[in-house]
Amino acid sequence: MDRLINIDRRIIFIFIFLGIAIPLLVDIHLPIKPTPTVRSVYDEIERISVEDADRPVLVSFSYGASTVPEMVPMTRAILRHLFSRGRKVVGICLWPEAVGIAQPIMDELAVEFGMEYGADYAFLGYKPGNQAVVLNLGQSLAGTFPFDAAGTPVGELAVMKGVRNLKDFSFVFDFAAGDSMEFWWIPFGQEKHRFPFAGGCTAVMAPDLYPFLQSKQLVGLLGGLAGAAEYETLIEAPGSATAGMEPQSVSHLIIILFIVLGNGVYFTTRRRGGKA
């Protein structure tokens, strides 16, 4: 019993490893049911594609290398949806690492959907300043990002025509692995200028952002790999997030089984009068 109470954590690690590795090798498919917070993002993009199709969408990348497995699938899903609806997209980065991650994805998906750089989409690169960048964007986009990532003045990009500041975008979406949604975009952007705003974040951050959903400062939220998988289901384009759901399900089950085992051993030991 003592050994079960103080089980070597490496045994738990092995089970978790197998729980993630085996489902990746075996072909199992569990049905994915989108949650209301994810569906809201989908519905909003569908709505603006009909009601506000002339104005571009701003996409902000605020994540780094460590959160690529969680954030890249939702980046692909959202961009895929936007491009498939013919939406013009402008991308910016508020984290320096995001440039090397997001730009190739935008370019790759743009080619897939026949989007032309400059006319249908643009990538403006990274600017330091965190919330100061959002503040400046609310006043003047050209003043904050005078050139795109390739050095072209933004005034020369057709996709930027008529865009003076944040209010001229039909929708703003932030991919956040840190503070960007709660401490930059919402207080310095959405609260001041009241544009439709939604975001995707790592799973651990999602509970932090629920109050903003209820106050309607966030239209919707994609939380972690599960949120990305739900979105892939909605756009009917399963990708790495959907493939990751089976390993995630099995690993959650393993953790639950260990918790139940731990509690079983604890209560058994307590009943016998031992120390748990």
Residues 45-84 that bind other proteins (CB under 8 A): 64-69
Of 213 and 235, CB closest to other proteins? 213
Restricted to residues 222-261, the positions that interact with other proteins (CB under 8 A) are: 223-224, 226, 229, 245-246, 248-256, 258-259, 261
For 268, the token pair is 């058994």
Site string for other proteins, 7-46 (x = CB under 8 A): x-x--xx--xx--x---------xxxx-xx----------
Restricted to residues 140-169, the positions that interact with other proteins (CB under 8 A) are: 140, 143, 149-151
219 binds other proteins (CB under 8 A): no
Q: Which of 86, 146, 153, 211 binds other proteins (CB under 8 A)?
A: 211
CB 177, min distance to other proteins, A: 9
128 binds other proteins (CB under 8 A): yes
180 binds other proteins (CB under 8 A): no
Q: Which of 86, 139, 146, 158 binds other proteins (CB under 8 A)?
A: 139
Q: Which of 178, 189, 200, 239 binds other proteins (CB under 8 A)?
A: 178
Of 56 and 223, CB closest to other proteins? 223
Separation between Cα atoms, residue 226 and residue 137, nearest integer Å? 31
Q: Which of 202, 219, 228, 232 binds other proteins (CB under 8 A)?
A: 202
Q: What angle do CA 10, 13, 16 make, to 5 degrees?
A: 155
C-beta separation of 126 from 94 below 8 A = yes
Q: Which of 142, 203, 237, 243 binds other proteins (CB under 8 A)?
A: 203
C-beta separation of 213 from 37 below 8 A = yes
